[in-house]
A and B are shown apart, each in its own frame.
Chain A
Amino acid sequence: MNPFSCKEKTECNDKERFDVFHGKAVADSTNSFHEVWDYEESQQNGRLSGCVIGIKDNIVTQRGTTTCGSKMLAGYQSPFDATVITRLQEEGALFIGKTNCDEFAMGSSTEHCYWGNVQNPWDPTRVPGGSSGGSAAAVAAGLCHVALGSDTGGSIRQPAALCGVTGYKPTYGLVSRYGLVAFASSLDQIGTFAASVEDAALVTEVMAGHDPLDSTTNDEPTIDLTSSLHEPIKGLKIGFPKQYQGEQNSPEVNEAIQNALETYRTLGATIVDIDLPLTDVGISTYYVLAPAEASSNLARFDGIRYGHRTEEQCDDLISLYSKNRAEGFGPEVKRRIMLGTYVLSSGYYDAYYNTALKTRRLIRDEYKTAFEQCDVIAGPTTPTTAFKIGEKSDPVSMYLCDIYTANTNIAGICGISIPCGFSHSEDKQLPIGLHLQGPWHGDATLLRAAQMYQSQTAFHQQSIGSTT
């Protein structure tokens, strides 16, 4: 049975909550969440009929604009739809608009956005995480059933954890990236935010499979993620690395993870001690590889074929490019472009870029060894719950938000964050996320393991305003 009801989503919306959050979660005022797009023409008998979906503003759609949260692309209207949009539409999904994000998906708080920052629905003085913060907040606030995000180093899983929703990054190559505005092509992956593993699995299954327009997708035309979703895994082995435990996490996060592992034990799972010693250098590796790829990918934004164009008179092409980009990009994007340009420049290529690529192989091999001992790896998604807006003003402290998630992308494996508890601060409840990682193309197993947890717990059903 189709679990979604568009009627319910549009009519039962808490009006007050909608008014508070819709303006914050939505990118660019022209992309409003006031009505679903093309409802009359939608396919009524699809697997996703009635499912209302928000779209991160770095996935192109012919309807509305696609701005990547940047002045550079203000008003940009894509001449085509991303493959994921077409596939979802064919199964009757309804789109409600574009969600706000850190500019070009670079950030962990959705504070770096031309359209303004997004608030966390659980506590408006805190960030929703990022970069897909608008998508996470939109699902948490009940503005849509599901939202699409992109995850380059944690940009789905981290905001999912901070907003108390399910956030799933599939294995690299499972879902087509055609129409996803590229940030770091070897790390980027489209995925989903949903209220449950069930919803995330169904929507991802519809999007997954080979796409001739993205040669990095795997060969299978369809991927089965749902047929055995509700079958518990007998003898499930969960790896718990010592590097994911300790004082770097808040006590409440450590406690929630221990409780989650205890829940798994009662379901018959075994917890296995594993070792991932390169966890610590993941962020260093990531902040060489991702900016390097970004500096190349974002070279296309020159203000000639599309993008912001300065009103100042420029006599030559280089000063025109440099002014367009100076005016169009925000500070975090400029920082990463320069960082990437630097590590790729002669004299530093070997010391940084090549060393990071070698470390990437070691990180991947480390996971390979780990997955010989366990089916999935568990730990916290983030060391702490949502932080205050403006709290992390220096770049490095913001980058460290992704300490547990970046290596998933570096290795190209799959990962999911599911709600596993709450911390309490200033009368507010703040969600905590359990991070599960699975091996390459072990998505069905990963989702089954996550579903086992949600079948026994109610954290994912808790909505804002209710009490524990």
Chain B
Amino acid sequence: MTTDSSQSHLLTDETVKHVAFLSRLELTPDEVSQSAHELSEIFKHIDRLKAVPTEGVLPLDHPTELVDHIREDEQSSTLSQEQVLQNSPATKDVYFDVPKVLGGTS
């Protein structure tokens, strides 16, 4: 992916396919071209940010600038194995059932 900060952002189909892969979303060819168009339109609006003078400003990732609360390391109740598995679409015995992870194609 390359960036050109001088002009408004246009996403190509190739970029959308890559972002969809990173997002773990399978898109149809129509969805790819529609997303490229829609995301480009959204970036036209987002690009207003470029006019904000942010040099030397510290990023703020949280409104409260919280400090960590560390609780006592005490035993407490948690979900049972049954509860953890109850919403899974596929289980086997006491496990989540998934395709082969090692030695696969990915």
List residues of chain A with CB under 8 Å of any chain B CB: 76-77, 79-80, 172-173, 186, 212, 215-216, 218, 278, 280-281, 283-285, 287-288, 295, 299, 302-309, 314-323, 325-326, 329, 334-335, 337-339, 341-342, 345, 347-348, 351-352, 354-362, 364, 394-396, 399, 409-413, 440
Tell me, in angstroms, the Cα distance from A215 to B66 when the chains sit together: 9
B49 touches A288 (CB 8 A): yes
A362 touches B49 (CB 8 A): no
Known contacts A76-B87, A355-B52; decide if A316 and B60 are in contact (CB<8 Å). no
Q: Which of A76, A302, A307, A316 is the one whose CB lies under 8 Å from B106?
A: A316
A334 touches B25 (CB 8 A): yes
Does B29 sit within 8 A of A, measured CB to CB? Answer: no
Known contacts A317-B101, A355-B49, A399-B45; decide if A306 and B87 are in contact (CB<8 Å). yes
Chain B residues positioned under 8 Å from A319 (CB to CB): 26, 106
Chain B residues positioned under 8 Å from A303 (CB to CB): 89
A338 touches B3 (CB 8 A): no
Tell me how far the C-beta of B105 lies from the nearest C-beta in chain A, rounded to whole angstroms. Answer: 5
A321 touches B38 (CB 8 A): no
Chain A residues positioned under 8 Å from B99 (CB to CB): 314-317, 320
Tell me, in angstroms, the Cα distance from A339 to B60 when the chains sit together: 20
Known contacts A309-B90, A338-B35, A354-B59; decide if A322 and B25 are in contact (CB<8 Å). yes
A361 touches B25 (CB 8 A): no
Can you list 21 residue pairs at the A/B interface with Cβ under 8 Å? A76-B87, A281-B52, A284-B45, A287-B45, A288-B46, A304-B89, A307-B87, A317-B106, A319-B26, A334-B35, A335-B42, A337-B25, A341-B23, A347-B3, A352-B46, A356-B49, A357-B61, A359-B52, A359-B54, A394-B41, A410-B63
Chain B residues positioned under 8 Å from A413 (CB to CB): 63
- Quick one: closest B residue to A80, CB to CB? B79
Chain A residues positioned under 8 Å from B96 (CB to CB): 304-305
Tell me, in angstroms, the Cα distance from A338 to B43 when the chains sit together: 12
Chain B residues positioned under 8 Å from A345 (CB to CB): 1, 19, 22
Chain B interfacial residues counted at CB < 8 A: 60
Chain B residues positioned under 8 Å from A342 (CB to CB): 11, 15, 19, 39
Known contacts A215-B69, A314-B99, A361-B58; decide if A347 and B45 are in contact (CB<8 Å). no
Q: Which of A278, A280, A396, A411 is the one whose CB lies under 8 Å from B42?
A: A396
A215 touches B45 (CB 8 A): no
B57 touches A362 (CB 8 A): yes
Chain A residues positioned under 8 Å from B41 (CB to CB): 394-396
Chain B residues positioned under 8 Å from A287 (CB to CB): 42, 45-46
Q: For chain B residues 8-57, which have a beta carbon within 8 Å of chain A?
A: 11, 15-16, 19-27, 31, 35, 38-39, 41-42, 44-52, 54, 57
Does B92 sit within 8 A of A, measured CB to CB? Answer: no
Chain B residues positioned under 8 Å from A341 (CB to CB): 19, 22-23
Does B7 sit within 8 A of A, measured CB to CB? Answer: no
Tell me how far the C-beta of A160 lies from the nearest C-beta in chain B, rounded to whole angstroms. Answer: 22
A318 touches B58 (CB 8 A): no
- Quick one: closest A residue to B24, CB to CB? A321
Known contacts A303-B89, A322-B24; decide if A316 and B100 are in contact (CB<8 Å). yes
A317 touches B54 (CB 8 A): no
Does B86 sit within 8 A of A, measured CB to CB? Answer: yes
Chain A residues positioned under 8 Å from B2 (CB to CB): 347
B87 touches A305 (CB 8 A): yes
B24 touches A318 (CB 8 A): yes
Q: Which of A320, A323, A338 is the one whose CB lies under 8 Å from B98?
A: A320
Does B83 sit within 8 A of A, measured CB to CB? Answer: yes
Tell me, in angstroms, the Cα distance from A410 to B20 when the chains sit together: 27
Chain A residues positioned under 8 Å from B49 (CB to CB): 281, 284-285, 288, 352, 355-356, 359
Map CB proximity to A onto B62-106 as digits: 1 under 8 Å, 0 otherwise.
111010110100000001000110111110000010111100111
Chain A residues positioned under 8 Å from B50 (CB to CB): 355
| 20 additional contacts (CB under 8 A) given A337-B23, A342-B19 | A186-B61, A186-B63, A280-B48, A281-B51, A302-B24, A305-B88, A317-B104, A334-B31, A334-B35, A335-B35, A338-B23, A355-B54, A356-B49, A358-B59, A360-B60, A361-B58, A395-B41, A411-B63, A412-B62, A412-B63
Tell me how far the C-beta of A440 lies from the nearest C-beta in chain B, rounded to whole angstroms. Answer: 8
Chain A residues positioned under 8 Å from B47 (CB to CB): 284
Chain B residues positioned under 8 Å from A281 (CB to CB): 48-49, 51-52
Specify which of B19, B24, B59 lies most central, judged by the most chain A CB atoms within 10 Å of its CB.
B24
- Quick one: closest B residue to A66, CB to CB? B87
Chain A residues positioned under 8 Å from B21 (CB to CB): 322
A317 touches B98 (CB 8 A): yes
Tell me, in angstroms, the Cα distance from A243 to B27 when the chains sit together: 40
- Quick one: closest A residue to B88, CB to CB? A305
Tell me, in angstroms, the Cα distance from A241 to B57 when the chains sit together: 24
Which 4 pairs from chain A and chain B are nearest by CB?
A: A412-B63, A357-B59, A309-B89, A306-B87
